[in-house]
Structure 1
Amino acid sequence: MVVGAGVVGAACAEALSAAGLCVHVLDRGPVACGTTAAGEGNVLVSDKAPGPELDLARDSRRRWPGLLAALGEELGPCGAEAEWEAKGGLVVATTREAVAPLAAFADAQRAVGVRADPVSSGQARELEPYLTRDLTAAVHYPEDAQLQPVLAATALLAAVRARGGEVCSGVPVRGVLRDGAGAVRGVRTARGVIPCPVVVNACGPWSGRFAAAAGVPLAVLPRRGMVLVTGPLPAGVVRRKVYDADYVGAVASGDADLQTSTVVESTRAGTVLIGSSRERVGFDDRLRTEVLGVLARKALGLFPVLEGVPVMRAYGGFRPYAPDHLPVIGEDPRLPGLWHATGHEGAGIGLAAGTGRLLADLCTGERPAVDPEPFRVGRPALMQEA
């Protein structure tokens, strides 16, 4: 039983069903309506320092194209269309102070095999002709990619259904039931008890609440973010994901206060997504116009051409934040049969393919391609009461 029908839950369900297990997916709301719907679709290696998360990101980046192609063969091309674009990313510095940290970060990534190509200001503007001229450094990441997250989650779950599994939306899970030995024996839902020996907690920002209700508190918290969406623009105004070098620091920060960094990227529909913000405000979902104003002003600093472009809408969402900034993937040592796949914060879409495969390998006893130890549930940072 996978609880949570976002992209991470969908990837886990798909990988488990591909391994031959009978899989049911439950979600209290519609498919992919939470964090996944509020995501930008990033599949990035450019924002991760060498270490476990980068290892998982590179594994996931390798898997996504093949997984989508396999789903296309299984479901037909229309059933697996996820708007995959291997368009690369560009990280830029606009101050002298940012040059050395950006270069050092790229050097460290190259040392472990990531394509991180330093480019001159002129070369950066060849890649992005409308980029500001106030550049001090830039690094091109050809491996960065993008997909449409709701379509990706929908395709993964369609495969689960095609293999005999069930996907039920609008079914809240109210608790986990234990047998006489203290292991999972089922879940209690609004529609009654459903027996199952394995439950996967893929509830995203709500994973901490789900774990607490199961009697095993987990320090996964919501971290709020907001995005602006412009009206459609002519092709080529923004060609790839472009972000300021300070974005990496914002991602890695544990500060609860508001942080913003400049992120600008196009979509296949021609709209431009403008971010990003991070703050820990619980589940307060109010849009704050002052934050949106900061995002807009910073975007103009990178792409002056956006001045006067209409904003079509703004939206916000919650990322699942773990205090040590690593995903939580594996079985809970306190409750046999309860597994977690959460804590990816803003990287869940990019990490989903690798996460699903890692969890399925662990669950079925296969040898995983990525070392699972750094993502274990029992690490000290997660055992604190949330």
Structure 2
Amino acid sequence: MARVVVLGAGMVGAACARELALAGFAVTVVDRSGPAAGTTAHGEGNVLVSDKGPGPELELAKLSRELWPAILDGDPNAAAAEWDPKGGIVVATTPEGAAALTEFAEGQRKAGVTADEMDAGALAAAEPHLTRDVAMAVRYPEDAQVQPAGAATALLAAAVRAGAELRTGCEVLGAVRRGGRITGVRTSAGTIEGDAVVNAAGPWSGEVAKRLGVRLDVRPRRGEVLVTAPMPPTVFHKVYDADYVGAVGSAAEDLQASAVVEATRGGTILLGSSRRRVGFDDRLRPEVLSVIAAKALRLFPTLAGVPVIRAYGGFRPFVPDHLPVIGPDPELDGLWHATGHEGAGIGLSAGTAAVLRDLMLGREPAIDAAPFRADRPAVQSEGENL
């Protein structure tokens, strides 16, 4: 039985561990902290197709959206994932935004995404508390949400039931090599041997790769979220303004913000989102939180005066060309990567794990994996963390 060491116990690492364990690998999951303690615990839980234009990432998103219900169906820990296929609504509040959204949605439809334009009556019925100052709205019934930490824990539990072992408090220090091949990792808790190693360390993947002796240009990009006090039902879909797509696709280092509003099963409302390139600076910035709140109030004026009970931020694994990295390392035999999803890792994790499993088994994945390869220029460039 081939032994695989998965570095990272967040959502992507958990999904990969589950798929590989079910495929018959002897899996050991290693994390310097604990399950879902990093990026996964600091996200919103989005499983989206609405924010991705035609191309490889959308194909990965469609595959993931197809896989998620099947993964959770019958799982004894599925309730913790809080799967909610509530759908999403994207709104434009200006004529220019409406024109851009129209073009974007048309391209998605051609790629197989359901994107339904909504008139004022349908929008008011779907979201009665949303501003009426909307130039255009598109509904995406395939969008869904999970509780990130609960979903990752469920996937890890499934991996453990399939024979995987979880080791926490293990920081990766370096690679064990033999004959030009990685045969394990040196950690703060000792050496862990394996026939293959999967780097699923999220925004820390670039540093982990460096410690293993290879190049991988994955950088941290920070995002913040506000959480309101529990409320009566107020927001019924994931609702965001059309600027969100531009913020996701931007490579700018300065603040990129847009309104993203959605409720949780517990009744709180999550307000996002922001993206900033600040390294691993984890300080919350009041001016950033103020921008997020102001943009959210433009969409839902009725939230004015609602208490915000907490704010949190986290780092997302950013790649300059905005595509995940899935596949073998070009320099070190036996090393594989599953990272670089930025803020989409929760939703893309299921498809990522399936693609990685097939590649490691020498099978043809359900989608073309070539765009995600680790030897592409954007990933092998002289990154700022290398």
TM range, normalised to the smaller chain? over 0.9
Distance 1:270 1:189 in 2: 41
Q: How far apart are 1:85 and its partner, in Å?
A: 0.5
Q: Deviations over 1:232-261 (max 9, x none)?
A: 0102x0011000001000101111111110
Task: Find the counterpart in structure 1 of residue 319 from structure 2.
Answer: 322
Which residue pairs with 2:180 in the alignment? 182
Distance 1:80 1:138 in 2: 32
Cα RMSD after superposing both structures: 0.9
2:224 alignment counterpart: 226
- Select 1:278's aligned residue among 267, 275, 278: 275
CA contact under 8 A between 1:79 and 1:158: conserved in structure 2? no
The answer on whether the counterparts of 1:242 and 1:264 sit within 8 Å (CA) in structure 2 is: yes
Q: Partner of 1:213 in structure 2?
A: 211
Asked if the contact 2:48/2:143 (under 8 Å) is kept, the reply is yes
Is residue 129 from structure 1 mapped to residue 128 from structure 2 by the alignment? Answer: yes
For structure 2, list consecutive stretches of 5 or more residues without a partner in the other structure.
none
* Equivalent-residue separation in structure 1 for 2:163 and 2:115 (angstroms): 43
Rounded Cα–Cα distance in structure 2 between residues aligned with 1:233 and 1:149: 21
After TM superposition, the structure 1 = structure 2 runs for residues 1-386 of structure 1, keeping only pairs within 5 Å, are 1-70=5-74, 72=75, 76=76, 78=77, 81-179=80-178, 181-235=179-233, 237-386=234-383
Equivalent residues of 1:37, 1:150 under 8 A apart: yes
Paired with 1:151 and 1:381, the residues of 2 have a C-alpha distance of: 33
Cα distance in 2 for residues equivalent to 1:80 and 1:356: 21
Please give the TM-score of this superposition, normalised by the length of structure 1.
Answer: 0.97
What percent identity do the matched residue pairs reach? 62
Cα distance in 2 between the residues matched to 1:184 and 1:345? 27
What secondary structure is seen at the aligned counterpart in 2 of 1:66? Answer: helix
> In the superposition, relative to structure 1, how do residues 201 and 94 fare at CA in structure 2: closer, same or farther (>3 Å)?
same
Instruction: State how far apart, in whole Å, the 1-side matches of 2:73 and 2:307 are.
Output: 36
Moved over 4 A (4+): none
Secondary structure of the structure 2 residue equivalent to 1:81: helix
Other structure's SS at 1:323 match: coil
CA–CA distance in 1 between the matches of 2:162 and 2:70?
19
Q: What displacement does 1:377 show?
A: 0.3
2:9–2:29 contact (8 Å) kept in structure 1 = yes
Partner Cα separation in structure 2 for residue 296 and residue 381 of structure 1: 34
TM-score, length of structure 2 as denominator length: 0.97
Consecutive unaligned residues of structure 1, counting only runs of 5 or more, are none
**CA–CA distance in structure 2, aligned partners of residues 343 and 211 of structure 1:** 12
CA displacement 1:128-178 (0-9 Å, x = unmatched):
000001111000000000011111111111111112211111111111111
Q: CA deviation at 1:385?
A: 2.5
Supply the distance in 2 between the matched residues of 1:246 and 1:122 (Cα, whole angstroms).
Answer: 23
Cα offset, 1:277, TM superposition: 0.4
**3-state SS of the aligned residue for 2:40?**
coil
Residue identity matched to 2:51: D
Q: Distance in 2 between matches of 1:357 and 1:58?
A: 13
Across the two proteins, how many residue pairs are aligned to each other?
Answer: 379
1:43 deviates by 0.2
Question: In the aligned structure 2, how far is the partner of 1:343 from the partner of 1:329?
Answer: 9
In 2, are the aligned partners of 1:121 and 1:136 still within 8 Å (CA)?
Answer: no
